[in-house]
Structure 1
């Protein structure tokens, strides 16, 4: 059986990949993250503590377990934090990738790397895989540089670009726009939501499936792996309110400029998914279907 090593396994995507692999038993799994394992099930796979910023530690773990593929989900993704802590962002988003690329080259390991729509300026969305990048933020700059490191390597690689991932993890330790909006509106808290940015939000289960399709098919190259429905952020939050029958009068639509965020955001991204659907068999669900899945999981948690 082929073995997959996942970085950032305590994160939203990392936990969903763990869940998927345990359900299908398609591959052996080495889950890795900094600190203790947060996934509730500990049987059926191996968990190894690994600090992605420590090259010697990463080397020791990779050489001990000798995976066939590495799915690299660990990253600093908070756009404003990246802008404020550039050195740390560079270490996590670029230097760590250089470490993994070097090991993948030495040991003939496939690398599946997660990237982002924020490598684009948002002037011409939705984008296909060949569109010219032009990041507006330091986060976008680091993610683009990581892509270039991978593209210039000799390892077998696939880059999966995604957008605004949502879903839930078992211990609710990770939030996202859907859970944030639902939680705030349930408490009748007024929220400011931008009405001048457009995205194709991604259900985390769909993204986890795409990661495993890329492993299974030994995918090479760049693939778009997002949701299929384009909407403004205010529209997204409105759909959340409608689904859970929450009071929309607490939603205050504002312009991006009025938020005074540290980092600039692209206006309209979104992805064209034709290549990923045709080559990998990717089957993204609609946003409404995604909300049904989130709702079911929340009810299962009680």
Structure 2
């Protein structure tokens, strides 16, 4: 008889969080616990326990952790908006760093395993493709906070996997959760003009791939940092043109602009992209191509947007 492991997913209402709840709750080896700031809006209400909680309430969170005693924590909750982090640096610190320190402390004490999501924004975009041990030089408070969170975890001496990722896209059940692909598709479908940046390069990450990478990190339980993304280097504009081509939408509605024109040249890296060889060799990670992911999203539209 196999051992049932308890897995706690923070930010379970989020884009990745919902994918993880759906993915892990299907596995008989895991008992899933999900927490979020707001009421549960995931229509998958089956084999998992949900708790609404203010994650910044240190005492309540500690009590919850002591009660549940998770063997694994997948920490997806964070303030990810560059502008929101700049506007409220104190809250950014509490959410993106102090909370991580609390979870790492629990994992060290209870010998649990922490999976932390991080970002390509810890780099300055001058020397991509980036390997895991390349020098961090974040340009924004958001990037700085995620880099500090990585350092906090490593100093805690807990068992961990840090998964850095890039420009996550896809679809889940929450119609209010948007991303580059959904935004472009929905705007162009409505015949609305859009402006897209043509001088920032990324390797967009399919959210289903990222959820699978979290599962692989959980199963392998290797303490390290891993780069998780797609394999295709695209400008934001190139990605949007591919979205338009796939759904046969009017590309004349797309206007190209520079990052400087919308004030995003100084606080966002120009070109990131990851070397994925470590994640492939150690975790067995295999990314889905951008075009193939659009086919999957089209199928999922029929499920999530009925």
- Same fold, judged at TM 0.5 (above): yes
1:114 — aligned with what?
Answer: 117
**How far apart are the structure 2 equivalents of 1:257 and 1:35?**
35
1:34 — aligned with what?
Answer: 37
**How far apart are the structure 2 equivalents of 1:171 and 1:105?**
34
**272, 277, 290: which one pairs with 1:274?**
277
1:50 — aligned with what?
Answer: 53
In the TM superposition, residue 168 of structure 1 has moved relative to its aligned partner by: 1.2
Q: Is the 8 A contact 1:120 1:134 kept in 2?
A: yes
- In structure 1, runs of 5+ residues without a counterpart are none
- In structure 2, runs of 5+ residues without a counterpart are none
**151, 156, 171: which one pairs with 1:153?**
156
Q: How many residues align?
A: 302
**54, 64, 80: which one pairs with 1:77?**
80
Q: Is the 8 A contact 1:70 1:109 kept in 2?
A: yes
Q: Is 1:254 matched up with 2:257?
A: yes
**How far apart are the structure 2 equivalents of 1:10 and 1:271?**
27
Superposed, 1:96-175 pairs within 5 Å as 96-175=99-178
The TM-score with structure 2 as length reference comes to 0.96
Q: Any idea what the Cα deviations from partners look like across 1:217-251, whole Å, max 9, x if unmatched? A: 11211000111111110000000000111111111
In the TM superposition, residue 263 of structure 1 has moved relative to its aligned partner by: 6.3
**How far apart are the structure 2 equivalents of 1:35 and 1:241?**
34
Q: Any idea what the Cα deviations from partners look like across 1:95-128, whole Å, max 9, x if unmatched? A: 1111111111111111100000000000011101
Q: Is the 8 A contact 2:55 2:99 kept in 1?
A: yes
Q: Is 1:240 matched up with 2:243?
A: yes
Return closer, same or farther for 1:112/1:63 CA change in 2, 3 Å cut-off: same
Q: Is 1:213 matched up with 2:216?
A: yes
**How far apart are the structure 2 equivalents of 1:18 and 1:114?**
16
Considering only aligned residues, what root-mean-square deviation do their CA atoms show, in Å?
Answer: 1.2
**How far apart are the structure 1 equivalents of 2:134 and 2:188?**
37
Could you say what secondary structure the match of 1:124 adopts? Answer: coil
In the TM superposition, residue 255 of structure 1 has moved relative to its aligned partner by: 0.7
The TM-score with structure 1 as length reference comes to 0.97
Q: Is the 8 A contact 1:120 1:132 kept in 2?
A: yes
**How far apart are the structure 2 equivalents of 1:278 and 1:21?**
23
Could you say what secondary structure the match of 2:26 adopts? Answer: helix
In the TM superposition, residue 90 of structure 1 has moved relative to its aligned partner by: 1.2
